[in-house]
Structure formats: structure tokens, C-alpha cells
Amino acid sequence: MNSARGAGRALAALLLAASVLSAALLAPGSSLTPDLDRKRHVELKMDQALLLIHNELPGTNLTVSWSSERCYQCLLQVLVNVSWGGKAGKPSTAAVAVSTQHGSILQLNDTAQQRELCRLEYKFGEFGNYSLLVKHAHNGMGEITCDLVVNDKPVDSNLPVCIAFLVGLALIIVLCLLRFLLSLEDFQNWISKAISAQETDRLINSELGSPSRAGDPHPEAWRPSAAPLRLRCVDTFRGIALVLMVFVNYGGGRYWYFKHASWNGLTVADLVFPWFVFIMGTSIFLSMTSVLQRGGSRFRLLGRVAWRSFLLICMGIVIVNPNYCLGPLSWEKARIPGVLQRLGVTYFVVAVLELLFAKPVPEICASERSCCSLLDVTSSWPQWLFVLMLEGVWLALTFFLPVPGCPTGYLGPGGIGDLGKYPNCTGGAAGYIDRLLLGDSHLYQHPSPAVLYHTKVAYDPEGILGTINSILMAFLGVQAGKIFLYYKDQTKGVLIRFAAWCCFLGLISVALTKASENEGVIPVNKNLWSASYVTTLSSFAFLILLVLYPVVDVKGLWTGAPFFYPGMNSILVYVGHEVFANYFPFQWQLGDSQSHREHLVQNIAATALWVLIAYILYKKKVFWKI
């Protein structure tokens, strides 16, 4: 596998080169997106357009209200009043900045009569200049027309993302070609090796459960011991989730689809955390089984699990309470929940569950038998019973817990959503439980619905109730680990089971959400970690394993570079990227702070830097284990 290793190294180097190159291409000064003179009338920010409203109705004052199409059942918010100037034929004008992230709904009323004159839906473009002409139609019927005119065309704000994507793609293609040309001989040897089924089986067998070979780097932090399990696809998947997480946490170029959804729905940013939880479940099972197989004591393992969870929670509390934005904090204001805290609790519950009920992996399943086909599920019935009971608790609390002042079973964002009827009900039971048990001031103060839905109450996306569903997510990851070990000799059996889980969970999601964003019984929601969010994301996770396992482990077509390296050092990269987020060179002074392009360059560079750091540490065999 030396050629593959070498190629991995080359791939890492070239991907870094790719990000540097795309950074250079997109760098400040190059004029891919024209800069606008935004100093007149209204100061336009990122994702805004200028709208000039011309009131040409004699004797009528206009009230213009606005809402985003993405804001589900929202009250319209008054944007501006355009009074009648007084002279006929001389319209009075108001200039406003409108959001361009999603489509806009505009309603124009007669201020005095509170009567709707016209209503329009339009998707404005970033930094565009538009005019809305409100006047009487020339047919003498007294009808009123609202015409939208484009004065200056908007810029294409997605262009930098496309360029970065194409540069990355081009470099990967070049790299594959290079690898192909340079090691043609190696490559052929290695193909013939990969095709031989016996060889494949031997590889997988020797890489599962066999004692660690000398010179093997120690595996990463999540594992309770220096376990010898080498499933590269697991580390690669973790690395993919982690790299995406670093990128979106650093801002993701300030694009809305790299930020968390306002309430219901999925964006790129919503994908990464559950995947991380899922793959943590898989690692827990793989490492724990190997420790137990080598005669490790369950009692000692329990102690280590408890200590590790405690450390994760403590580290998490330190990390979510930085002083640089809010000034020095005290215990009264410290946030308690957070990403590492949730990981710690999830880890504890799932690891203890497996520890209590773990059975030795049966050898009979090594050869396909029909009685074995569901053994990975049936042999862990006590765990399933416990997890399903927990899920029952989630459903019961979510849908039947009475919340003062709010409808029972409320799942909405509150604020101006649901026509403003429940402004303080953000998150229903989940929000209520956190506010009751932890207190407002110990929760996250800027939840994602605050902008679009104008919510006022504190709400924590990593709250107590959602942790139940993250346990379910990790447990589905454990299931993936069981499939790996129970059917380790039958690649086909593993892949069929992954595909089956992917479809099964996907169908549950479709049923729960009615294949819609907002209309389902349980919509997909990152803030609540709703049940459908878990089924959807674990369905995706099984799909990714379905692709990665044959490509990375069975055939060895891809080493997993460069994602493999951060995946091997996940704690270090996670803690490091949080702590050093505001340090140079992860962040620097931008020439134009309202430019997606400059933010994107900065965020890609910072992410690439963390990949590079992870690579160097991997080479030096430095792994942060807790």
C-alpha cells in the first residue's frame, strides 16, 4: 500500500496548493466581482439590495411591509413609510435595503385606510439597485399598479463558491492523472491486488481486531485505548465532518447555506454535527469490542469512559465561554450546554450501554447464514429497548409536556412565526425544559431563529431534550460498527445492510416530514434535533459509509487524504479551531468586510491550515487523546 500512502501525501499537498491557488485567484484586488459604490443613501451590507420605492399616488401615504419567503407563517414587518410629497407628478421616494438571501414578500398598504394596495414576491440580487413604481394604471379604472424596475444589475454572489469548487475539482483531476501516470506500474499491481477477493478479505481481517503493528501511529482520541482497529473509512468520514465543521464554524464565506437553518430545514452547516456523533458511535463500538476481546476489564473501561466524558464536558464549558466578544464572564452568565458537552453525555450513555450489554461478536456470521441476517440488530435487543424507550421519552415530553403560555406540542420558533401568536415559545418543550432547569442566562443567547423570526428568548440548540436524540444518532452509528464487525468477511453483506438502513431511515424521514420543510408531523430541525433530523442525517451517514467503505477500505482507490488526517486527531482540531478562531492567520483584516469572496478566501485558508496542521501532527505521530 506504499503507493497509496505516497499518493495520499501528494493529495494532501495538492489540496493545500489548491486552496492557496483558489485563494490567490479570489484574492482581494482581483476584480471578479465588481465593487459597488455603496456610500449613497443607504449603506448596503452583504446579502442586501437597494430598493427605491416611488410613491406616485396623489394624496396617499404608503406603508411597505416585508417578510422573507423562508420565514414560515411570519407576520409582515413594517419596512418603511413613503409619504405623499404633495406635488402632482413629482413622486416621493424612500430608499431601503432589502435582504437578498431568499425571496422577499412585499406588501404595500394605504397608511390611512390600512388597506392592501398591492403585494409582490421577488428574489432580489446582492448589491442590485431596484425601483418599485407605485402609480395609477392608465385605464381610468382607479387601479393601482406596482412595477419593479432593475436600475443596476445585481452581482452574482455565488460566483466565488463556483470558482473555489471548480479549482478544487480541477486539482483533484490533475492529481488523479498525475498519480496514474507516475505510478503506472505500482498502480497496476495494486489494481490486481484490489480485485482479488481473497486478498481483500485478508486485508480486512488483518485490519480488524489484530494486534497493533509496530510503527502504526496510535489512533485518535475517541478510542478508549490504543486500539488496533484500522477502518480508514471511519476516520475519513469523521475527517470530512470535521473539516466541514471547521469551515462552517469559521463563517463559510457568510453564505446562508453554510450557516445553520433559521428553524426548520437543512443547510450544509446542519449536516456536520450529527455525522460526527454518528461516527463517534461507530468508533465506540469498534474500539470497545477490541479492548474486550483482548481481555480488558469492563470495570476499568467504565472508569475511563466516565473520566473521558467528564473531561469532554469540562473542556466544552471552557470553550463555549470565551471572553472576547462579551467581555469577562462570571458563573452567573456562563453557558452550560454546548457541542462538546453534548458529545460527552452522548458518549457516556452509549458507551455504558454497550459496556453493560456487549456480547462477543459471533464468529458464525463470518459465513452467510440466513439466521445471521439480522443478528447485528437482534443480539443487541437490550440496547435497542433502552434507546427506543428514551425516544419514547423524547416524544412524550415534546408532544405532551404542558408549557405555560404555549400550546402543548409546539415545535415552532416563536417570535414573529405562527403569525406572532407565541412570541416566547421558541422550541416549545425543549426550550422550556432548558430554561426551567438551567436558567435563561446559562443558555445560548443568539439562537439561529433570532434574525429571521425575531425571537427574543434564550434558546440552546445543544439543550437537554435534544441530547436524547443525539444518543439515538450515536446508537445508529454503533449499529454501523456492528455491521462492520459481524459481517467483516462479506463486503456484499455489509453494503447491503448499509443500503437497507439508508432506505429504511430515509423512508421514516419522508413519513415524518411528509417530504416537506414545514408541513410534516416532525419537521427536520437542527435546533430541536428532532427525530426526523436524526433519521434523515443517519440515512445520509449510511449512504456515505456505503460509498466510502468500498472505495477507501475494500478497493483502496482513495486513501481518504486529506480528510483522514484531521479525522485521526479530532479533539485537537476541534478544540484548536475553536480556541484560535480569532488569531492570525486564521482570521485577518478584510479589505471589504461585506464581500463574500474575501470571507470565503479567509475561511477556506483557515480550514486548509487546520488540515495541514493535522497532517504534520500525523506525520510526527502526535495525537491528542483524552
Ligand X SMILES: *[C@@H]1O[C@H](CO)[C@@H](O)[C@H](O)[C@H]1NC(C)=O
CB of 116 or CB of 216, closer to ligand X = 116
Which of 54, 260, 577, 599 is catalytic? The answer is 260
Candidate ranges 80-88, 289-297, 392-400, 518-526; the one touching ligand X (CB under 6 A): 80-88
From candidates 5, 40, 119, 294, binder to ligand X by CB under 6 A = 40
- For helices 491-513 and 464-486, what crossing angle results, to 10°? 150
Minimum distance, C-beta of residue 621 to ligand X, in the bound complex (Å): 53
# binding residues, ligand X (CB under 6 A): 24
Q: Which of residues 117-136 bind ligand X (CB under 6 A)?
A: 129
Residue 212 binds to ligand X (criterion: CB under 6 A): no
CB < 8 Å & 24+ apart, contacts of 431-439: 431/457, 431/459, 431/463, 432/401, 432/403, 432/404, 432/406, 433/397, 433/401, 433/463, 433/464, 433/465, 434/337, 434/459, 434/460, 434/463, 434/464, 434/465, 437/464, 438/336, 438/337, 438/464
Minimum distance, C-beta of residue 451 to ligand X, in the bound complex (Å): 18
CB of 81 or CB of 212, closer to ligand X = 81
Residue 430 neighbours by CB under 8 Å, 6+ apart: 398, 463, 464, 465, 466, 528
From candidates 80, 395, 451, 551, binder to ligand X by CB under 6 A = 80
Minimum distance, C-beta of residue 447 to ligand X, in the bound complex (Å): 15
| Direct distance between the N- and C-terminal alpha carbons of the chain, in angstroms, rounded to an integer | 30
Minimum distance, C-beta of residue 79 to ligand X, in the bound complex (Å): 7
From candidates 424, 441, 445, 587, binder to ligand X by CB under 6 A = 424
What is the Rg, in whole angstroms, of the alpha carbon atoms belonging to the chain?
A: 28
CB of 232 or CB of 454, closer to ligand X = 454
Q: Which of residues 389-418 bind ligand X (CB under 6 A)?
A: 405
Residue 423 binds to ligand X (criterion: CB under 6 A): yes
Minimum distance, C-beta of residue 333 to ligand X, in the bound complex (Å): 17
CB of 23 or CB of 80, closer to ligand X = 80
148, 123 Cβ separation under 8 angstroms: no
* Beta strands per DSSP E along 123-165: 129-136, 144-152
Residue 61 binds to ligand X (criterion: CB under 6 A): yes
Minimum distance, C-beta of residue 42 to ligand X, in the bound complex (Å): 7
CB of 71 or CB of 485, closer to ligand X = 71
Residue 587 binds to ligand X (criterion: CB under 6 A): no
Q: Is 260 a catalytic residue?
A: yes
Fill in the DSSP letter of residue 182.
H
Minimum distance, C-beta of residue 116 to ligand X, in the bound complex (Å): 4
Q: Give dist(CA 96, CA 267) in Å, integer.
A: 28
If you search the block for the grid coordinates 413613503, which residue do you land on? Answer: 82
**Distance of CA 253 to CAs 407, 438, 515, 599, Å?**
38, 34, 29, 4
CB of 80 or CB of 105, closer to ligand X = 80
Candidate ranges 110-118, 134-142, 187-195, 585-593; the one touching ligand X (CB under 6 A): 110-118
From candidates 35, 116, 216, 368, binder to ligand X by CB under 6 A = 116
Residue 35 binds to ligand X (criterion: CB under 6 A): no
CB < 8 Å & 24+ apart, contacts of 255-260: 255/157, 255/158, 255/161, 255/596, 255/600, 256/47, 256/101, 256/102, 259/448, 260/448, 260/461, 260/526, 260/527
Residue 147 binds to ligand X (criterion: CB under 6 A): no
Candidate ranges 12-20, 81-89, 252-260, 392-400; the one touching ligand X (CB under 6 A): 81-89
Sheet strands side by side (includes 144-152): 92-99, 48-55, 129-136, 144-152
Residue 151 binds to ligand X (criterion: CB under 6 A): yes
Minimum distance, C-beta of residue 306 to ligand X, in the bound complex (Å): 38
Candidate ranges 111-119, 172-180, 227-235, 556-564; the one touching ligand X (CB under 6 A): 111-119
Candidate ranges 59-67, 197-205, 299-307, 491-499; the one touching ligand X (CB under 6 A): 59-67
Candidate ranges 9-17, 78-86, 201-209, 307-315; the one touching ligand X (CB under 6 A): 78-86
Candidate ranges 114-122, 178-186, 299-307, 465-473; the one touching ligand X (CB under 6 A): 114-122
- Greatest pairwise CA separation for the chain in angstroms: 92
CB of 77 or CB of 297, closer to ligand X = 77
Looking only at the bridges linking them, the beta strands covering 48-55 and 129-136 are parallel
From candidates 29, 34, 90, 114, binder to ligand X by CB under 6 A = 114
Minimum distance, C-beta of residue 36 to ligand X, in the bound complex (Å): 7
288, 358 Cβ separation under 8 angstroms: yes
Minimum distance, C-beta of residue 603 to ligand X, in the bound complex (Å): 28
Q: Which of residues 542-581 bind ligand X (CB under 6 A)?
A: none
Dihedrals phi, psi of 498, to nearest 5 degrees = -60, -45
**Distance of CA 295 to CAs 210, 328, 359, 383, Å?**
13, 49, 13, 22
Q: Give dist(CA 412, CA 402) in Å, integer.
A: 15
Q: Give dist(CA 44, CA 50) in Å, integer.
A: 7
Q: How many CB atoms lie within 10 A of CB 402?
A: 10
CB of 84 or CB of 357, closer to ligand X = 84
Query: Nearest 5°: CA angle at 557, between 609 and 605?
Result: 15
Residue 65 binds to ligand X (criterion: CB under 6 A): yes
From candidates 87, 90, 115, 138, binder to ligand X by CB under 6 A = 115
CB of 115 or CB of 138, closer to ligand X = 115
Residue 314 neighbours by CB under 8 Å, 6+ apart: none
User: What torsion do the CA atoms of 74, 78, 80, 85 make, to the nearest 10 degrees?
Assistant: 120
From candidates 112, 169, 503, 515, binder to ligand X by CB under 6 A = 112
User: What torsion do the CA atoms of 247, 251, 257, 263 make, to the nearest 10 degrees?
Assistant: 110
**Distance of CA 568 to CAs 91, 305, 331, 345, 572, Å?**
65, 19, 34, 21, 9
Residue 188 binds to ligand X (criterion: CB under 6 A): no
Minimum distance, C-beta of residue 144 to ligand X, in the bound complex (Å): 13
Minimum distance, C-beta of residue 259 to ligand X, in the bound complex (Å): 26
- Which amino acid, residue 172? I
Dihedrals phi, psi of 25, to nearest 5 degrees = -65, -35
From candidates 109, 346, 559, 603, binder to ligand X by CB under 6 A = 109
Q: Which of residues 450-479 bind ligand X (CB under 6 A)?
A: 456
Instruction: By CB under 6 A, name the binding residues for ligand X.
Output: 40, 50, 59, 61, 63, 65, 78, 80-81, 83-84, 109, 111-112, 114-116, 129, 151-152, 405, 423-424, 456
Catalytic residues, which ones? 260
